[in-house]
Amino acid sequence: MKAKKVRIMETVLRDGHQSILATRMRTSQMLPVLEKLDAVGYEALECWGGATFDSCLRFLDEDPWQRLRTLKAHLKNTPLQMLLRGQNLLGYKHYADDVVEAFVKKAKENGIDRIRIFDALNDPRNMEAAIKAGKKAGVHVQGTMVYTISPVHTNQMFVDVAKELKEMGMDSLCIKDMSGLLAPYDAVSLIQDLKKALGEDMMIDLHSHFTCGLASATYLKAVEAGVDVIDTALSPFGHATSQPATESIVEMFRGTEYDTGLDLAALRELAEYFRGVRKEIADEFGITPAHEVLPEVRHYQIPGGMLSNTQNQLREMGMADKFFDVMNEMPKVRAELGYPPLVTPTSQIVGTMAMMNVNFMANGMERYTMTPSEVKDLVRGKYGRLPAPISEDIRKKIIGDEEPITCRPADLIQPELEMYRQKLGELGYQNFTDEDVLSYAMFPEVALQFFEKHSKQVILKEIDLPRE
């Protein structure tokens, strides 16, 4: 295979601080170095999507749309990339197609150049509307498959998903390894199979997390196997549960046929700045930055953040001594529910059910004695097509004699954009923008609190104006 320069997609403005410090970086903390980031020569800068939208409104008192416009004003040379959860957009439920189209259109208008579209179940039907909307809006559409390990997740299954996404019109493919499960030699065979099926010209971007300690070695073998782009985060927001550190990866390929061509001195200067930002965020919010490598994640096959969240939840429930029981229950529940990849929202669904089952058994009851509505909806097919069939016994325990749906889940949702617009009007809001309507659709309660606070601020400012 002909060697080629590997390209770097930088995540410090999105996944880096989401993984290390709970998505708490402010726009004001990004501003001083945006021009320097823009000058590096990255393939793209991931800066929006994921949890950033929610965090802006909920914790940082920022309008996420204004953040995007500000970033675009300073980042003139490097494509801006976002992460989108397919039919879920940035929320936790499926939205109607008209909301999907409007959101993608506004993302483009406010500054997004590339949209990475994924679905928690790797169901291409849940990505179709967003892909169409992206093509219509004129953004680079990156179809995405989430990587996981199970008896049914074979290279052939991943290739089949990728081929469907190519038929839908994706411009490039991302392998999203959200838990850092992809091992180096598995990456070689997967990338070779994908290149063979999609053609050498199809750009493949590998996104992994350092959680299990494998990602740097996986990147090395992936590049040798022909991957085009790899995702990294500047070192203060790299490693641990984030991506491998940008400087380390650039150093790894320096002087080889895959040399990134990026300036290490410029990267070190940026890293020094973000080291200060990391301390500011940790001090302000009282958050301890993620720092551990967790090889056991590959055994339990759950995201790293889920380990700590589960420990905290069990402590609050007075079940701290049941941690390993829950850890062992999770793979069982996952298998019984059709081996869903564990990423938002399926990781939360499986984790909650595992905790409930352990609690039931501790109290002499049967597993699945009660099931949350999200588990029922997963079994009903409302989240999409599961990778493996669910046994008749488990299905009956959870939804009785109900027949699961087989259509695309969003086909059952009536257009709803106008409904969100009307609701805002009924609540007494005026002069709201299309972006405000979409913020409300994503996170109604949080958005209303944000709107209320800022409408009051406007009134106060008007009152304080000096009279002539």
Q: Answer yes or no: are the C-beta atoms of 15 and 52 closer than 8 Å.
A: no
The domain that contains 126 carries what CATH number? 3.20.20.70
Asked if residue 420 is part of any domain, the answer here is: yes
Is 10:232 a contact under the CB 8 Å cutoff?
yes
What CATH number does the domain containing 317 carry? 1.10.472.90
Q: Same domain for 129 and 230?
A: yes
Instruction: Give yes or no: residues 312 and 438 share one domain.
Output: no
Mean pLDDT, the chain, as a whole number? 94
Range of the structural domain that residue 432 is part of: 414-458
Let me know if residue 48 belongs to a domain.
yes
Do 350 and 439 fall into the same domain?
A: no
Q: In whole angstroms, what is the distance from residue 258 CA to residue 226 CA?
A: 10
230 and 359 share one domain: no
pLDDT tens figures, 386-421 = 999 999 999 999 999 999 999 999 999 999 999 999
Q: Is the pLDDT of residue 309 over 80?
A: no
> In this structure, what token pair is assigned to residue 152?
């049914």
Whether residue 56 is contained in a domain is answered as yes
Do 176 and 220 have their domain in common?
yes
Say whether both 213 and 245 belong to one domain: yes
> Which pLDDT score, from 0 to 100, does residue 306 have?
75
Determine whether 317 is exposed, middle or buried from the number of CB atoms within 10 Å of its CB (0-12, 13-18, 19+). Answer: exposed
pLDDT on residue 465: 41
Mean pLDDT of 61-90: 97
Is 465 among the domain residues? no
pLDDT-based confidence at 463, cuts 50/70/90?
A: very low
User: Rounded mean pLDDT of 124-135?
Assistant: 98
Residues 339 and 247 reside in one and the same domain: no
What pLDDT sits at residue 424? 94
* Residue 423 included in any domain: yes
* Whether 51 and 185 share a structural domain: yes
- Are both 279 and 191 inside the same structural domain? yes
- Report the alpha-carbon distance of residue 394 to residue 139 in Å, rounded: 42
Per-residue pLDDT, averaged over 331-352, amounts to: 93
**Of 92 and 149, more confident:** 149
Give every CB contact of residue 72 below 8 A, 6+ residues apart in sequence: 80, 110, 111
The per-residue pLDDT for 315 is 86
- End position of a domain, from candidates 409, 432, 448: 409
Residues 402, 138: Cα–Cα separation, whole Å: 42
On the question of pLDDT at 468 being above 70, the answer is: no
CA distance 132 to 29: 35
Render pLDDT for 234-270 as a digit per residue (tens, 0 to 9).
999 999 999 999 999 999 999 999 999 999 999 999 9
Give the pLDDT score at 457. 55
Average confidence (pLDDT) over 434-454: 95
User: Residue 16 falls within a domain, yes or no?
Assistant: yes
> According to the 3-state scheme, what is the secondary structure of the chain?
CCCCCCEEEECHHHHHHHHHHCCCCCHHHHHHHHHHHHHHCCCEEEEEECCHHHHHHHCCCCCHHHHHHHHHHHCCCCCEEEEECHHHCCCCCCCCHHHHHHHHHHHHHHCCCEEEECCCCCCHHHCHHHHHHHHHHCCEEEEEEECCCCCCCCHHHHHHHHHHHHHHCCCEEEEEECCCCCCHHHHHHHHHHHHHHHCCCCEEEEEECCCCCCHHHHHHHHHHHCCCEEEEECHHHCCCCCCCEHHHHHHHHCCCCCCCCCCHHHHHHHHHHHHHHHHHHHHHHCCCCCCCCCCHHHHHCCCHHHHHHHHHHHHHCCCHHHHHHHHHHHHHHHHHCCCCCCCCCHHHHHHHHHHHHHHHHHCCCCCCCCCCHHHHHHHHCCCCCCCCCCCHHHHHHHHCCCCCCCCCHHHHCCCCHHHHHHHHHHCCCCCCCHHHHHHHHHCHHHHHHHHHHHHHHHHHHHHHCCCC
Residue 293: inside a domain = no
Q: What is the pLDDT of residue 458?
A: 41
Question: Rounded to two decimals, what is the model's pTM?
Answer: 0.93
Give the angle 6-8-9 at the CA atoms, nearest 5°.
145
Please state the domain count of the chain: 3
State yes or no: pLDDT of 461 exceeds 80.
Answer: no
Does 220 share its domain with 362?
Answer: no
- Mean per-residue pLDDT, 137-155: 97
Domain assignment of residue 289, yes or no:
no
Among 283, 312, 338, give the residue marking a domain's end: 283
Task: State the average pLDDT over residues 283-304.
Answer: 86
Same structural domain, 138 and 219? yes
